[in-house]
Amino acid sequence: MRTPTMREVAALAGVSIKTVSRFVNGDETVSPAIAERVRAAIDETGYRRNDLARSLRPGQRSTTLALLVGDLTNPFYGSIANGVMGVARAHGHNVVLASSDEDPEAERRGIDDLLGQRVAGLLIVPGAMDYGYLGREVAQGTPVVFVDRPALGLDADTVLLDNHGGARKATEHLIAAGHRRIGVVVAASHYTTGRRLDGYLDAMRAAFGEADEALVARLEHGTREEAEQAAAQLLALPPERRPTALFTTTNFLTHGALRAMGPGQDTALVGFDDFPFADLLPTPVTVVSGDAGEMGREATRLLLARIAGQSGPPRRVQLGTVLIPRGSGEQKP
């Protein structure tokens, strides 16, 4: 599909190109009635102001890729970004980085802004539920690759970790050390951590026939503070019900659990996702880790292939995980 033009918007709205230009540039002198006609024509055609085109020579194409992540303070996303930038720069592309702070509305605005710059392609760690609105952009030639989580409403290339298998591996590691009462701290509303909860539950059911729901701490937002409170509540249970081990499903949740456990705590711990200095703590933290940098590199390779004209059905790439035993997950009950 061709990219819609301002001329087409003007023709559909029954106004001049100059009026459309005034509207898209925020001129408040455009009457409300005319503005509504222009807005409806823009929605119908899928026109998007091409801010970047003003700085490009005729026929020149943007070489900028865009990466939108959920939280720039999370080292996991930083590793994804490093992987993206390494491959992009090696192929002559710049990268613009944006964050949604895990807010679907902020994510939508950020994507609209990036598309307004006519980036060559989008890499998205999705936080919203439905990405059907990007179908027109993809049809018009802007490829999209999703990273870390799949997206609903849009069939596109996706790069994931084996979240279920990694979580099962972590739980089985604690079971092999002799633990039966294993608590889990999880933000189950997220796709990745939901799959990790499934892996934990499957391992517990395979070993013991059932999982004790009293040891499953489901968090609403997945913050360190929530995790600290939830872990403290689990550790405050009566001795016969208290978990002898904890599995935390993100690095932020591991931080919270460590605060709750405090120094000298004899509860075993395995976290999902590595984090800086995990190996330098008084009791180094055992983790299940996926290569976030490779996720970024693989996603960028897929995006560049689409930009170069590769066709075919969307690909779904799943990367494996490794268990890194450091001491915290090997403690006996």
**Cα 145 to Cα 141: distance, rounded to the nearest angstrom:** 13
Higher pLDDT, 282 or 188: 282
User: How many other CB atoms are there within 10 angstroms of residue 66's CB atom?
Assistant: 26
Whether 154 shows a pLDDT value over 90: the answer reads: yes
% of the chain residues with pLDDT over 90: 65
**Cα 226 to Cα 332: distance, rounded to the nearest angstrom:** 27
Residue 265 is predicted with a pLDDT of 75
Q: Are 81 and 87 in contact (CB under 8 A)?
A: no
pTM of the model: 0.80
Hey, what amino acid is at 37?
R
**Mean pLDDT value of segment 236-265:** 94
Q: What are phi and psi of 186, to 5 degrees?
A: -150, 140
Whether 100 shows a pLDDT value over 90: the answer reads: no
Whether 3 shows a pLDDT value over 70: the answer reads: no
30: left (phi over 0), alpha (psi -120 to 50) or beta: beta
**Cα 113 to Cα 263: distance, rounded to the nearest angstrom:** 47
**Mean pLDDT value of segment 3-24:** 83
Buried b (16+ CB within 10 A) or exposed e, 76-107: bbbbbbebbbebbeeeebebebbbbebeeebb
Going by the DSSP 8-state scheme, the letter that residue 141 receives in this structure is: T
Residue 50 is predicted with a pLDDT of 57
Whether 34 shows a pLDDT value over 50: the answer reads: yes
Residue 52 is predicted with a pLDDT of 46
% of the chain residues with pLDDT over 70: 95
Give residue for tokens 């690759």: 145
Whether 1 shows a pLDDT value over 70: the answer reads: no
Average pLDDT value over all residues in the chain: 90
Q: 81: helix, coil or strand?
A: helix
Whether 26 shows a pLDDT value over 90: the answer reads: no
Q: What are phi and psi of 6, to 5 degrees?
A: -65, -35
238: left (phi over 0), alpha (psi -120 to 50) or beta: beta
Residue 59 is predicted with a pLDDT of 39
**Mean pLDDT value of segment 90-105:** 89
Per-residue pLDDT of 112-135, as tens digits, reads 878 877 789 999 999 877 899 898
**Cα 218 to Cα 46: distance, rounded to the nearest angstrom:** 41
* Dihedral sign for Cα atoms in the order 53, 78, 249, 159: positive
**Cα 282 to Cα 264: distance, rounded to the nearest angstrom:** 9
DSSP per-residue letters across 22-43: HHHTT-TTS-HHHHHHHHHHHH
For the ranges 50-54, 104-108, 174-178, 240-244, the lowest mean pLDDT is seen at: 50-54
pLDDT grade for 14, boundaries at 50, 70 and 90 = very high
pLDDT grade for 243, boundaries at 50, 70 and 90 = very high
Whether 309 shows a pLDDT value over 80: the answer reads: yes
**Mean pLDDT value of segment 322-332:** 96
Whether 56 shows a pLDDT value over 70: the answer reads: no
Per-residue pLDDT of 280-304, as tens digits, reads 998 999 999 999 999 999 999 999 9
Residue 221 is predicted with a pLDDT of 85
Q: Of 111, 110, 103, which is closest to residue 70 (Cα–Cα)?
A: 103
pLDDT grade for 106, boundaries at 50, 70 and 90 = confident
